[in-house]
Amino acid sequence: MKPNIVDVASHAGVSKATVSRVINHNPKVNPEIRERVLAAIQELGYQPSAIAQNLATSTTNTIGLILPDITNPYFPALARGIEDAAHRLGYGLFICNTDNDFATEQEYIQKMVHQRVVGIILISSVLKEKNVKDMQQLNIPFVLCDRLLVDSPFDSVTIDNYKAAYEAVLHFIGQGHKDIVHLAGPPNVHSAIERRQAYIDAMRAHQLPPVVANGSFNYDAGYHAMEELLQHMTPTAVFAANDLVALGAMSAIFKKGLRIPEDISVVGCDDILFAQMSYPKLSTISVPAYQIGEKAVELLIDRCKGVNDGETRNIILSHTFIQRES
């Protein structure tokens, strides 16, 4: 049905080895014969099977991406950065959503190994130190985004969450705010922990009492935490663990009849697309998600090609504080 390399070969009157050489741009084939082969390929509408090529070369041109949920507004930019970089380097992209479920994550890692992807970019908050050994036994390169394991043997790329959060709090303090609260993220997620700790440290360093509301990385959590908080006190500034939480908080603030930023200032983190579309536009810490994705692919491919056999690389990209209207 679909023509294969032998069809092309006999159609052009050559051996399949020669056709293979033409396909792979091997320079040492007679130009005249090359033309004949190319013509045959054209006529038959032949396209080599990547499957067969992969089997023969014992490698694929595919990388795997495992992330919590593409529906979470932080991830599309990351995914896009990964995809663009991957395609630019000649790789395809396999994708999976784990919903932060450990079993699902392990299952998908297996699935990718099965598919023989050359490497995996893993964004996980459920991974634990004790899983590292198992993963290493898989003998496949991993790159972690938003590093969650300290001293892990895997390459990673992230931002300095502690520093970013510290600066954000400093920004508030610099403006004269004293009642600054923090709406924290999930207590088991690395980036959330760092941001929370930075907030506490910054407050203490200025003799201000830290007030943190525990929560999750989503809108509803932000809304409810803020609503709850407003029953007891009225802070002048809110530092949210991420933009979704900030947006939820803003909604609760409005609901209470307060103004932003006149009564309460709000700062989020991530700079998701909607940070610039909200009303008022959300001030936030811009996390270069797209670039993190690009960089992750670079690390991964280097690792696959053996460019970097040495020590693990933990890249830290720089964030930016973006002052908008909130």
Which residues in this chain contact DNA in the complex, by CB under 7 A? 2, 4-6, 13-21, 23-24, 28-30, 32-33, 46, 48-49, 51-53, 55-58
**Which of 68, 73, 141, 235 lies at the binding interface for its own copies (CB under 8 A)?**
73
Nearer to DNA, 114 or 133 (CB): 114
Which residue shows structure tokens 């630019």? 88
Asked if 196 and 182 count as a contact pair (C-beta separation under 8 A), the reply is yes
Binds 18: which of its own copies, DNA, none (CB < 5-8 Å by kind)? DNA
Nearer to DNA, 54 or 131 (CB): 54
Asked if 150 and 128 count as a contact pair (C-beta separation under 8 A), the reply is no
Nearer to DNA, 14 or 299 (CB): 14
- Least Å from the CB of residue 64 to DNA: 18
Binds 219: which of DNA, its own copies, none (CB < 5-8 Å by kind)? its own copies
Q: How far is CA 287 from CA 74, 127, 131, 180, in A?
A: 9, 22, 27, 22
Does 111 sit near its own copies (CB under 8 A)? yes
DSSP at 263: T
**Which of 139, 306, 310, 311 lies at the binding interface for its own copies (CB under 8 A)?**
139
Does 133 sit near its own copies (CB under 8 A)? no
Q: Give the interface segment with its own copies, choosing from 19-27, 151-159, 195-203, 250-258 (CB under 8 A).
A: 250-258
Binds 274: which of DNA, its own copies, none (CB < 5-8 Å by kind)? its own copies
Binds 15: which of its own copies, DNA, none (CB < 5-8 Å by kind)? DNA
Label residues 39-51 b or e (16+ Cβ within 10 Å = b): ebbeeeebeeeee
Does 161 sit near its own copies (CB under 8 A)? no
Residue 116 region, left (φ>0) first, then alpha (ψ -120 to 50), else beta? left
Q: Quote the Cα angle for 142-287-250, to 5°.
A: 130
Nearest to 211 by CA among 174, 189, 240: 240
DSSP at 234: -
Residue type, 24: N
Does 6 sit near its own copies (CB under 8 A)? no
Asked if 269 and 303 count as a contact pair (C-beta separation under 8 A), the reply is no
Binds 29: which of its own copies, DNA, none (CB < 5-8 Å by kind)? DNA
- Least Å from the CB of residue 99 to DNA: 30
**Strands 283-286 and 320-322, how do they pair?**
antiparallel
Which residue shows structure tokens 């041109």? 61
268: which strand partners?
A: 284
- Least Å from the CB of residue 122 to DNA: 24
Three-state DSSP string of 167-214: HHHHHHHHCCCCCEEEECCCCCCHHHHHHHHHHHHHHHHCCCCCEEEC
Integer Cα distance of 305 and 143 in angstroms: 14
- Least Å from the CB of residue 253 to DNA: 58
Nearer to DNA, 29 or 170 (CB): 29
Largest CA distance in the chain: 86
- Least Å from the CB of residue 213 to its own copies: 19
- Least Å from the CB of residue 2 to its own copies: 7
**Which of 35, 129, 175, 254 lies at the binding interface for its own copies (CB under 8 A)?**
254
Chain residues that interact with its own copies, rule: CB under 8 A:
1-2, 45, 47-52, 54-55, 60, 62, 69-71, 73, 75-77, 79-80, 83-84, 87, 92-97, 110-111, 113-116, 137, 139, 219, 244, 247-248, 250-251, 254, 273-274, 276-279
